Chains A and B, each alone.
Chain A
Amino acid sequence: MQQRYLPLGLAVIVYIGMQACAPGSTADAASVRAVKDRKNAPAFTLKDATGKAATLAEYKGKVVLLNFWATWCGPCKIEIPWFIEFEQKYKDKGFAVLGVAMDEEGWDIVKPYITDKKVNYRVLLGDDSTAQLYGGVDSLPTTFLIDKTGKIAAVHVGLVSKSEYDKDITTLLGITSDK
């Protein structure tokens, strides 16, 4: 009797394991939505610190961490060193961080900050219309994880843990984090 159930139990374990390793799976990260529940990330064009226009479409094929932040936002400042680390760790694996600064004073205040903090990812200057596209972005930080097909796979409003982001990113990249 026991022998009849063993193969089934093994099959379930193998299936869960395969799901956990598959890109875009939800088995190992509660905050990553199932593929069928993801919606297209709204398109935008914003300027980066060099004055060059950046579009989300440029990043199709990559997992993007889109972080709305501001220099006056304390919780945002906790996350920035994590994002610097993620950019360095995963950029060669098809990942990019895009920071969207929501400071009203613009580059005069944002540029010195990102220079001082040695931010290694692309930072864009946000505006209200872009924020509206993403649901208003009332609270900062607000971070969207966008999958390789350009769909929103996870949203984090407010400060969450570094490990949660890491889990989301590695799940979407289909890799195992070596921490």
Chain B
Amino acid sequence: MNAVSVDPPQKIVVQRGQSAALKIHAKVLPGYHANSNKPHEDYLIPLRLTLDAKPLEVEAIEYPKGHDEKYSFSEKPLNVLTGDFDIVVRLKAPASLQPQMHMLAGKLRYQACSDRACLAPKTVELRITADVR
């Protein structure tokens, strides 16, 4: 069972010597939550995107903030994601690159729970087309 569905990323167009942002959209099933990138508790598996962007550079990965919610199994509120969320990736194309299409490989790892049970951590493979102009 997948509690989080991730849309295939759109193509990103980056001018040489400049950067551009790409949104990765995901959705959590009703009744479930995914841990945010900073879930408050060390034992929880955070949302994490890893991206092999070469020959481009990853300038920043902006995770959704999440919201604090208290569950029956937690003493303190946890920082979680529910419903729709976006991860924004900022990519830079070095000025030395030739205009060309690049296929970048990414992995989005998440872990989701309901109020009573947790699903095993999942890793979604992402393919991002970067059009360097």
Contacts and interface: CB of A to CB of B under 8 A. Distances in A.
Interface of A: 70-78, 102, 104, 138-142, 157-159
A139 B119 contact: yes
B110 to A, nearest CB: 12
Contact of A77 (B73, B117, B121): B73
A158 B78 CA distance: 18
Nearest to B78: A74
Contact of A72 (B1, B114, B121): B121
User: Secondary structure at chain B's binding surface: helix, strand, loop or mixed?
Assistant: loop
Interface of B: 1, 41, 43-45, 71-74, 78, 111, 113-114, 116-121
Nearest to B1: A138
Contact of B117 (A71, A72, A104, A139): A139
Across the A-B interface, the 9 shortest Cβ-Cβ residue pairs: A158-B117, A158-B116, A139-B117, A74-B73, A75-B73, A73-B118, A159-B116, A72-B45, A78-B73
Residue among A70, A72, A74, A102 with most chain B CB within 10 A: A74
Given A74-B71, A78-B73, A159 B45 contact: no
A75 B43 contact: no
B120 A71 contact: no
A102 B120 contact: yes
B43 A159 contact: no
B43 A157 contact: no
A157 B41 CA distance: 24
B111 A159 contact: no
Nearest to B71: A74
Contacts of B73: 74-75, 77-78, 159
